[in-house]
Amino acid sequence: MVSRRNYFAITIVMFIIFFLFLSTGVITEKWNDYEVNSYSEDIKELPAGSGAYSANGDTAEGISGQMRDFIVYIGGEKMEGAVEVWASYTKKGMESYTSLSQCRDADWKEENRIPDMLVIDPDHIRWEEEKDLEYLETYLDTGSDVVFSSMPDVSVIKKSPRIRKLFGIKKVKTESTKVKGIHLYSGFLLGGEAVYMTSDKKEEKKRQDMELTLPWYELEAGTEVYMKGLMKEDGTESEEAPIVIWKKNYRGSCLMAVNGSYMEDFGGIGLLSAMTAQMELYDLYPVVNAQSMIAANFPIMSQENEDKEEEIYSRNMQGVGRDILWQGIMSAYRRGRMGLSCMMAPQLDYGDDLQPEQKQLHYYMKNLNKEDSEVGLSGISLSDTPLKEKLKADYDFIHQTLPDYQVASFYAGSLSESEIKAVMDEKAMSSVRTVITEDRKDNEIVGYLSEHVTEQKVLSDGFTHTYRDDLRIRCVETMLAYTNTLVDVTRAIYPEDENDSWEKLSEDLGWNIQNYWKEFYGFQGRTVSESDVCIRKFLALDYSQEREEQKISLKLSDTDGPVWFILRTHNEVIEKMEGGTFTRLEPDAFLLEIEEPEAVMTMKSTVSTYE
């Protein structure tokens, strides 16, 4: 039996607990200021395109007043864009030529300067001309590193001992062979070792898209291998196998070669960064440091396509959005460490009489704000409604429901640059400062769409992740410490059959997010608008660095707030740092966060020395 005193005490405690829970909920609700966009800023107050660095020749001076590093590209348009983007991102000067003879007569020759690196398309070398071979050998002898974006035709290699010696090739074992898979060694690209092969036939069909047929070169002793073929079904290493990427050391320089077409897409810029880290004593370069998941066309606020929704999900559109799509997206988001940006679609079919519902917008904005995620706007329509009309309808709906909400990000999908620019003056776009596009026609991953609006290219699909996709992501992470993955729910909302159901799509999404990005958890998860701020600072940044004994000094141009660098070393670690902080990503790779105009890293060797 409970005494009156105890009964009274228990009642008081229960009342206090009830009050605390109730007040917490009330306070949380009151502080959930979802009616305004916390990611919205005055775009004219942010760094603009006119302040971004561009690779403008070898004579450009760095901020220290000394001539900056510069590279030379020899080739045509096939690789020129990738090399130019890489030079711009790493703040190097660049000169382009279509032949070695043009390069020979360059003005910088008169100043006794030599390029730090030559990137060469082998189709633009006259392999039968002794003079071209002499030029290449001279650059290597005088300290310029040389990178071949692919190999000359195998017939050229076979008939010339001098060319084989240049590349470090002992002999051509076979002109063409098919390997079982590809082995990427650890320490080359960030993210560690990867074996792109599986014995599971279903998994192989789903993921295997690597270049598996290639010439088989047997290399000389002393060459260093970074990627090679796998000859055995079980994936075990073979002593002899076709080499994909390797390095030959010269007295004061290196030559690196790629056996295949791996540098011909946007991953090529990451390979250049990885190669630089292997050819230099250390490599220090700026990065973006942002990881984003982009949920396109979610949430949707209109009750459309209901017959199909009932057939596949036994729910209407509201139930599909809240009970199915929301759960899957939130599960993937919480499982990984990416920032989440949802590109809302008030409606997708503007040709029916159904209108978006204000209560749906309130529901999603409130709950997404609790998750610290961003809500932007999608430009996608499944009807023939002109884009300007769609944007006007979206603006009217959002403005009537949440008058103070300003959209900061816009998902353009496959819209062309001209189509996007044609609507930038629309009211719905007036506060947009970053645009997400799927146009992968060039190698620029982040850049400016206009003077005040940045562009971020979609890098991966959350539902599909092939081996080549994985290699590309590792390349971009190595170059920029940046990635994004697209989760477009349109297939689930307008499914053609059960293969498009969210149950199947979200299973792949969860697996991909959890497994393929876990090696990059050292980088920061950000929404696309947060990424935009980092991108603007990255593009505007200029710097100089030098080393004296064990100290690496870094000097930055004017920048507001922190910026990030990656330092890659060989058997060295940072003992202490002034002007910022660092995180060790891998044994010889560090992420630096720089807060001051100057930073100094004191290094120490990890190799023990004995008498």
Q: Write out pLDDT tens, residues 193-241.
A: 999 999 889 999 999 999 999 999 999 999 999 999 999 776 556 677 9
Does 585 score more than 90 pLDDT?
A: yes
Amino acid at residue number 414: S
pLDDT band at 159, cuts 50/70/90? Answer: very high
DSSP state of 108: G
Q: What is the pLDDT of residues 34-93, one digit of tens each?
A: 889 989 888 888 889 998 887 665 445 666 566 678 899 999 988 998 999 999 999 998
Domains present along the chain, CATH in parentheses: 54-287 (3.40.50.880), 290-535 (3.20.20), 541-605 (2.60.40)
Q: Cα 199 vs. chain centroid, distance in angstroms? A: 29
**Amino acid residing at 251:** R
Pair of tokens at residue 191: 């993210």
105 neighbors 464 (Cβ within 8 angstroms): no
Count of beta carbons in the 10 Å neighbourhood of residue 172: 16
Q: Would you state the pLDDT for residue 514?
A: 87
State yes or no: pLDDT of 28 exceeds 50: no
The pLDDT assigned to 362 comes to 95
DSSP-derived letter for residue 442 is S
Cα(157)–Cα(105) distance, rounded to whole angstroms?
28
Query: What are the backbone dihedrals phi and psi of residue 398, each rounded to the nearest 5 degrees, phi first?
Result: -65, -45
User: Which two structure tokens, joined as six digits, stand for 482?
Assistant: 């940046």
- Please tell me whether residue 344 adopts helix, strand or coil conformation: strand
Strand order in the sheet with 374-378: 446-448, 454-457, 434-437, 409-413, 374-378, 339-345, 290-300, 482-488, 460-461
- Before 299, cis peptide (omega within 30)? yes
Q: What is the dihedral of CA 461, 463, 469, 473, to 10 degrees?
A: 60
Q: Please list the alpha-helical segments (H only) found in 528-586.
A: 528-540
The C-alpha atoms of residue 54 and residue 333 are separated, in whole angstroms, by: 35
Q: Check whether 15 has a pLDDT greater than 70.
A: no
CB neighbours (10 Å) of residue 105? Answer: 9
- Minimum mean pLDDT range among 9-13, 81-85, 289-293, 592-596: 9-13
Q: Which long-range contacts (CB under 8 A, 24 or more apart) does 29-36 make?
A: 32/366, 32/369, 32/370, 33/369, 34/365, 34/366, 34/368, 34/369, 34/402, 35/365, 35/402, 35/404, 35/405, 36/404, 36/405, 36/406
Contact by Cβ (8 Å): 602, 572: no
Spatial contact of 494 and 305, defined as CB atoms under 8 Å apart:
yes
Which amino acid would we find at residue 18?
A: F
Taking residues 117-129, what's their average pLDDT?
95
Measuring CA to CA, which residue among 244, 276, 283, 284 is closest to residue 144? Answer: 276
Residues 420 and 380: beta-carbon distance below 8 Å: no
* Helix %, strand %, coil % of the chain (to 5): 35, 25, 35
**Least confident segment among 7-16, 329-338, 386-395:** 7-16
pTM of the model: 0.92
Find the range with the poorest average confidence among 57-61, 475-479, 564-568.
57-61
Question: Which amino acid does the sequence have at 171?
Answer: K
What rounded mean pLDDT belongs to the chain? 90
Mean pLDDT (whole number) for 245-268 = 93
Tell me the β-bridge partners of 582.
592
